[in-house]
C-alpha cells in the first residue's frame, strides 16, 4: 500500500499505471532492428510468464490451452482488456514494438489482476516485431482472431512496404490463422482503409464477412470504442474504415502459380 502511495506512476484512485509516464512515439519503424529476445519457435515460449493461472510452472506440461487471439500493435491494451472479460476462457496476447507502451500494458494487466481476483488471467503482452516474428510465436492454424486496429498509415509510397497489412504478410497471417479465423482491421485514414481492404480482397485465402455476420459479431462493436485511438476519432466525430475478413481454403481457379506454391506451404501438413 505504501509503495503504491509513493509511486507516482500509479494512480491513487484507480491503482492503474498512468499513461503519461509511458508515452512514446505514435509509431515505430518495423524495418529497423530492435533488441529483444525472440523465441526460436512457438514451443520455446514460456507461457507460465504470461498466464500463470493456466501454466503454473514452465516445467509443467499439463495445460493444452493455446493463444487464440492476437492484437497486432496493441497500443495501450484497451481492446485486450475488453476482450478479456468478453472471452474469459480464451487466451489472448498483444504484440507491441514500443518498449514503454509494452511496459504500460504489462503493469495495467498486473494491476487489474490484483484488483479483480480471478479476472484478466487470460490476457498478456509481449514486446516484439510482428512483421518479422509472427511464426516464432504461433503454430500453423493456431489463431482464431487477429486484430489490426489503427495501424501506422505510412503515407509515402516508398514506405508502403512498412504497412502491417500487405500481400506477402497476409501469407503469414493465413498460415497462423485457422480456417474460419477472422482478421479485423480498422483505420481513420481512407486511403489506408482502401489499401487493406484491397489486399484482403485480392488474397485467395480470405473472404469478406457479410453484413449480417458483422452485425452479429460482438467484437466488431469494440473496434471503434475499445482503443485509445478509436475513442479519439469518436470524440472528433471522425470517420472510420473497417475491413473484416475470414480465412478460407482457396479455390484453384483463382490461383496463379505463385499463389499455389504459397498456399501449399500454408496448407501442407
Instruction: Dump pLDDT digits (tens) for 189-213.
Output: 999 999 999 999 999 999 999 999 9
- pLDDT, position 59: 55
Chain mean position to CA 126: 10
| Residues forming a β-bridge with 245 | 183, 208
- Other beta carbons within 10 angstroms of residue 65's beta carbon come to 13
Q: What is the mean pLDDT of the chain?
A: 86
Residue count of the chain, please give it: 269
Report how far residue 8's alpha carbon sits from residue 129's, in angstroms, rounded to the nearest whole number. Answer: 30
Per-residue model confidence (pLDDT) at position 159: 84
Question: Parallel, antiparallel, or unpaired: how do β-strands 206-208 and 123-127 relate?
Answer: unpaired
CATH of the domain at 226: 3.40.50.150
pLDDT at position 257: 42
Is 194 tagged catalytic? no
Q: What's the whole-number mean pLDDT along residues 154-164?
A: 88
**Do the Cβ atoms of 125 and 109 come closer than 8 Å?**
yes
Distance separating alpha carbons of residues 5 and 92, to the nearest angstrom: 31
Q: Give yes or no for residue 119 having a pLDDT over 90.
A: yes
What Rg do the C-alpha atoms of the chain give, in angstroms? Answer: 19
pLDDT class of 261 with cuts at 50, 70, 90: very low
Binding residues: 73, 96-97, 129-130, 149, 227-229
pLDDT given at position 255: 53
Q: What residues make up the domain containing 63? A: 2-268
SS in 3 state form for 211-269? Answer: HHHHHHCCCCCHHHHCCHHHHHHHHCCCCCEEEEEEECCCCHHHCCHHHHHHHHHHHCC
Task: Report the C-alpha gap between 55 and 24 in whole angstroms.
Answer: 32
Quick one: cell of 116?
Answer: 479483480
What pLDDT score was predicted for residue 251? 74
Contacts of 194 by beta carbon, 8 Å cutoff, 6+ apart: 241
Count how many domains the chain has.
1
As annotated, the binding site for S-adenosyl-L-methionine includes 73, 96-97, 129-130, 149, 227-229
242 alpha-carbon distance from chain centroid: 16
**pLDDT grade, residue 60 (50/70/90)?**
low
Helices (H) and strands (E) in the chain, counts: 10, 7
Place of cell 490484483: 114
Please give the model's pTM, rounded to 2 decimal places: 0.83
Among residues 152, 171, 188, 217, which one is catalytic?
152
Amino acid at each position: 500500500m505504501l509503495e503504491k502511495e509513493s509511486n507516482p506512476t500509479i494512480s491513487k484512485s484507480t491503482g492503474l499505471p498512468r499513461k503519461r509516464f509511458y508515452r512514446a512515439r505514435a509509431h515505430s519503424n518495423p524495418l529497423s532492428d530492435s533488441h529483444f529476445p525472440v523465441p526460436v519457435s512457438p514451443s520455446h515460449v514460456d507461457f507460465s510468464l504470461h498466464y500463470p493461472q493456466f501454466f503454473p510452472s514452465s516445467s509443467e506440461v499439463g495445460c493444452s490451452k493455446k493463444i487464440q487471439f492476437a492484437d497486432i500493435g496493441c497500443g495501450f491494451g484497451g481492446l485486450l482488456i475488453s476482450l478479456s472479460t468478453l472471452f474469459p476462457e480464451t487466451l489472448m496476447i498483444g504484440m507491441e514494438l514500443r518498449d514503454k507502451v509494452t511496459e504500460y500494458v504489462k503493469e495495467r494487466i498486473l494491476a487489474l489482476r490484483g484488483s479483480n481476483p480471478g479476472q484478466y488471467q487470460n490476457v498478456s503482452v509481449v514486446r516484439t516485431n510482428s512483421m518479422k516474428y509472427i511464426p516464432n510465436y504461433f503454430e500453423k492454424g493456431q489463431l482464431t482472431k487477429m486484430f489490426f486496429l489503427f495501424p501506422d498509415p505510412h503515407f509515402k509510397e516508398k514506405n508502403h512496404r512498412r504497412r502491417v497489412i500487405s500481400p506477402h504478410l497476409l501469407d503469414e497471417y493465413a498460415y497462423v490463422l485457422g480456417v474460419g479465423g477472422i482478421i479485423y482491421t480498422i483505420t481513420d485514414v481512407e486511403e489506408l482503409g482502401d489499401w487493406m481492404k484491397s489486399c484482403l480482397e485480392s488474397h485467395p485465402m480470405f473472404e469478406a464477412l457479410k453484413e449480417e455476420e458483422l452485425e452479429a459479431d460482438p467484437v466488431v462493436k469494440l473496434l471503434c470504442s475499445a482503443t485509445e485511438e478509436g475513442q479519439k476519432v469518436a470524440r472528433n466525430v471522425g470517420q472510420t474504415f473497417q475491413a473484416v475478413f475470414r480465412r478460407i481454403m482457396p479455390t484453384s481457379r483463382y490461383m496463379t502459380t505463385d499463389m499455389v506454391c504459397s498456399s501449399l506451404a500454408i496448407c501442407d501438413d
